[in-house]
């Protein structure tokens, strides 16, 4: 990924997320899902992505890539990814995080903390809109990779004196995280289940089910890619863990286009994704 320029950021602004943060949900249709393969650049991007992922699987095993690899990131790239990923991690039901009864939120598999930052910014924005002074909210990010946890610690900035963030390493598949049952009001889990085979994915969902008192927000891939594990049946896995109120939407990883890509850095093809909010 090259260092993004002002023009790149300006291109992202044309996606209109400031006017409608849930635009990806409205942009998606089943017809567009078929039509995206008419786009020649998207077909090329798709095959390049398949090749990249095949090479990645051959050269780096899971433990190396996710547990021990060093992954420093510059602020400009982090900022670009934060804004870029906002398209497919829309703030579905995030207003709930700003309610007075909510004091603890977990971002599980938080990576570099850019989604964590957006959650904190969202809560502060809802409070500001209501003219509410705020209450103490603790946002915790946990990730397997020490280097990414270091990135999050260095880059995430609290937007409000009552919202505090902390980041730690942890493995939500191999162990119970050091919190009692239902310690957190809400848990977020974005881009994580898609990299896990069924058994570890179920373990992670068990841990989410144990920790989340009120609900969970999930973003996950639905297209099939090497080393990716799409799960159309995710709502039933959530029901099985006591999350009965499931809202699920399909979306693309960027705004639909019949030609080219609206992402100036062209990070991925137009991938089909799902975003879910599941409440108790």
Ligand X SMILES: C[S@@+](CC[C@H](N)C(=O)[O-])C[C@H]1O[C@@H](n2cnc3c(N)ncnc32)[C@H](O)[C@@H]1O
Region near ligand X per CB under 6 A, out of 42-50, 104-112, 130-138, 271-279: 104-112
Report the alpha-carbon distance of residue 184 to residue 106 in Å, rounded.
6
Q: Could you give the C-alpha distances from 122 to 65, 134, 257, in angstroms and in order?
A: 31, 13, 28
Residue closer to ligand X, measured from CB, 123 or 152: 152
> Helix, strand or coil for residue 273?
strand
Is residue 240 within 8 A of residue 275, CB to CB? The reply is no
> Helix, strand or coil for residue 218?
strand
Show the beta-strand stretches assigned E in the chain. 104-108, 137-143, 163-169, 184-190, 212-221, 245-252, 272-279
Rule CB under 6 A: say whether 66 interacts with ligand X. yes
Report the alpha-carbon distance of residue 180 to residue 145 in Å, rounded.
23
Q: Indicate which single residue of 39, 42, 83, 145 sits in contact with ligand X (rule: CB under 6 A).
A: 145
Rule CB under 6 A: say whether 111 interacts with ligand X. yes
Report residue 193 as tokens.
Answer: 């289940």
Rule CB under 6 A: say whether 267 interacts with ligand X. no
Residue closer to ligand X, measured from CB, 192 or 270: 192
Rule CB under 6 A: say whether 24 interacts with ligand X. no
Please give the residue whose beta carbon sits closest to ligand X in the complex.
111
Give the nearest distance from C-beta 195 to ligand X in angstroms.
Answer: 6
Region near ligand X per CB under 6 A, out of 7-15, 124-132, 139-147, 243-251: 139-147
Residue closer to ligand X, measured from CB, 134 or 154: 154
Q: Indicate which single residue of 92, 110, 238, 275 sits in contact with ligand X (rule: CB under 6 A).
A: 110
Report residue 99 as tokens.
Answer: 């309610």
């Amino acid at each position: 990924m090259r260092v993004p320029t002002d023009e790149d950021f300006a291109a992202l602004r044309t996606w209109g997320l400031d006017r409608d943060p849930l635009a990806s949900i409205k942009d998606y249709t089943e017809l567009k899902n078929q039509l995206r393969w008419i786009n020649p650049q998207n077909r090329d991007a798709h095959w390049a992505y398949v090749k990249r992922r095949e090479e990645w699987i051959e050269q780096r095993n899971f433990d190396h890539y996710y547990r021990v690899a060093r992954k420093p990131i510059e602020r400009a790239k982090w900022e670009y990814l934060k804004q870029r990923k906002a398209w497919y991690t829309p703030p579905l039901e995030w207003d709930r995080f700003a309610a007075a009864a909510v004091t603890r939120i977990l971002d599980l598999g938080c990576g570099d903390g850019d989604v964590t930052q957006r959650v904190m910014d969202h809560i502060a924005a809802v409070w500001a809109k209501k003219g509410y002074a705020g209450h103490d909210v603790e946002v915790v990010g946990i990730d397997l990779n020490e280097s990414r946890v270091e990135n999050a610690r260095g880059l995430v900035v609290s937007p409000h004196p009552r919202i505090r963030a902390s980041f730690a390493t942890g493995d939500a598949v191999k162990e119970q995280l050091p919190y009692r049952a239902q310690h957190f009001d809400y848990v977020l889990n974005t881009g994580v289940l898609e990299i896990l085979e069924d058994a570890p994915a179920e373990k992670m969902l068990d841990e989410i089910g144990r920790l989340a008192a009120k609900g969970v927000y999930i973003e996950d891939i639905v297209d099939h890619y090497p080393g990716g594990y799409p799960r159309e049946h995710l709502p039933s896995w959530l029901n099985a863990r006591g999350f009965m109120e499931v809202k699920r939407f399909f979306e693309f990883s960027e705004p639909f286009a019949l030609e080219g890509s609206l992402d100036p850095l062209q990070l991925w093809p137009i991938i089909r994704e799902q975003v879910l909010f599941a409440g108790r």
